[in-house]
Structure formats: C-alpha cells, structure tokens
Amino acid sequence: MITLYNVPVSSYGSKVIILLRHKGLEWTELPPPEGYGSPAYKKIIPAGTVPAIQHEGISLADSEAISEYLNELYPDPPMLPSALVARAQAREISRFHDTRLEPVLRSFFGQVAPDQRNPEFIAAQATLLQDRLDQLAVIAHPAPFMSGDTLGLADCGFPASFAILELLQTVIGLNVTLPARLAAYSKSLNAHSSVSDEVTRYRAALIDWARSKGADI
Ligand SMILES: N[C@@H](CCC(=O)N[C@@H](CS)C(=O)NCC(=O)O)C(=O)O
C-alpha cells in the first residue's frame, strides 16, 4: 500500500495523484502530522515537504523522485519514452515545469489576499511568467501530450499549474496569456480520463484557499 502525504492545494501533490490515477494504483492520503515542515512530520519525512510517500518501508519526498520511482516499480502503462532522446526531452520539460515555471506561479500566492497586493511586484512577475511560458512553447511540441499520444511523466505537473494560472487571471487580473500551443495542450490534458477528475478537485481546493484569503471569487 502507498501512503501519500499531501495537502489539498499542493500542485506537486496533484502531479503525483495524476500519475497514481493513470497507473491505476491504490493509495491512502494523509495530511502531514502537525503540517508540513513540522518536527512531527520531519520524523517521518526528513525533508518536511509534501508530497511524500511511504511504501514498503521506504520514505520518499519530491514529486519527481516519487514519479520516477513509481514509474519504474509499476511500469504499466509506461510514462517515460523508451527512446533515449525522447526520454531526456521529457525530463527536460518536467524539470522546466518544476524549476522554472512553478516557482514563478508560486511567487503570486502572497498577492491573492486583496490587502496584500503589490502592483509593481505583480507586473514584474507577470513579465517573467510570460517569458517562461513563451520559452516552454518553444521547447515543447505537445502532440497532444508532451511525449506524444499517451500521457507521460512530463505532463503530470501541468494541469495544476495551468489551474493556478487561471485562478490568478481571475482573482488578481494577471495579465499573462497562455501561448496558443500550450492552450491547446491544456485542453487535451484536462479532457484526459486520468486528469479530469483530479483537475476538478484541484480547482475547487484552489478556490476554497483563495476565498480563505479574502479573494472575491
Ligand atoms: N520539489 C518539491 C517541491 C515540493 C514543495 O515545495 N512542496 C511545498 C508545498 S506545495 C512544501 O512542502 N513546502 C514546505 C517547505 O518548503 O518546507 C516536489 O516536487 O515535491
């Protein structure tokens, strides 16, 4: 049995859930005891981050490490291409998501509460985010998914990130446009049977969170 430590609004948690669903695996989801980063949670998961898993005596943090582990342990359906170059490109895109795109999206979280907004910060980060999305639209050639016609590891982080982008466009009027190629990709992703229920759950969790910050949505 896989135990997944997660919180509802974690985009990296959503990434792992999409992989679990696509593999048809069963898991038990638990909140980190006393919250992520807490001493109680660090006794179980020393990194203190979510998502993390416990499985057959091992503890593993980091969505990418978890995804690669589960993909090797449960190879059906495969979620990384067998060809060397295609596999490297899938990893390139997945890391671009985790290290270039998600941190810029995350930087807006402090702007969701209306009384905390800083227009100069939002404008500067919007330029950076647009730049990163435009770079991704050059690097990636979804057809319709990042590694071709089946859902792969490189796809799993994007549904939550695109949901965050939509929330920010609505709540803070973020002036960023998803390039056409990525907008078409997002549509294909959200229609996939391993993604659609999870993205619906994730959007609802984001809206609850934004309301808890006083956002009018
Ligand atoms: N690279 C990590 C990032 C995970 C991450 O930053 N998780 C956040 C919640 S979404 C967290 O646990 N933050 C607590 C901390 O940094 O101590 C992954 O892919 O799992």
Residue 113 shares a structural domain with residue 167: yes
Q: How far does the centroid of ligand 1 lie from the alpha carbon of residue 185, in Å?
A: 25
> Are residues 16 and 101 both part of a single domain?
no
- Tell me: do 10 and 102 sit in the same domain: no
* Nearest alpha carbon, ligand 1 atom 12: 49
The angle at the Cα of 93, spanning 120 to 191, to the nearest 5 degrees, equals 90
pTM: 0.97
Q: What's the confidence (pLDDT) of residue 202? A: 98
* Same domain, residue pair 57 and 101: no
- Residue having the nearest C-alpha atom to atom 17 of ligand 1: 37
Q: The dihedral of CA 146, 150, 154, 158: what is its sign? A: positive
- Determine the structural domain holding residue 8 and report its residue range: 2-73
* 51 and 138 share one domain: no
Best residue among 7, 36, 45, 60 to mutate for probing ligand 1's pocket (most ligand atoms within 8 Å of CB) is 36
pLDDT of 5 reads 98
Measure 83 CA to ligand 1 centroid, in angstroms: 30
Do 42 and 134 belong together in one domain?
no
pLDDT, residue 146, reads 98
Q: What is the count of structural domains for the chain?
A: 2
Q: Output the ligand 1 site: residues, CB below 6 A.
A: 10, 12, 36-37, 48-51, 62-64, 98
Q: Is residue 136 part of a domain?
A: yes
Report if residue 193 sits inside a domain.
yes
Q: Indicate the residue among 73, 93, 123 that finishes a domain.
A: 73
Residue recorded with tokens 């982008």: 165
In a domain, 217, yes or no: no
Q: What is the 203 CA–ligand 1 centroid distance (Å)?
A: 19
Ramachandran angles phi, psi of 68, nearest 5°: -65, -40
101 in any annotated domain: yes
**51 and 118 part of one domain:** no
State the pLDDT at residue 44: 96
| Per-residue pLDDT of the chain in tens (217 residues, 90 and over written 9) | 999 999 999 999 999 999 999 999 999 999 999 999 999 999 999 999 999 999 999 999 999 999 999 999 999 999 999 999 999 999 999 999 999 999 999 999 999 999 999 999 999 999 999 999 999 999 999 999 999 999 999 999 999 999 999 999 999 999 999 999 999 999 999 999 999 999 999 999 999 999 999 999 8
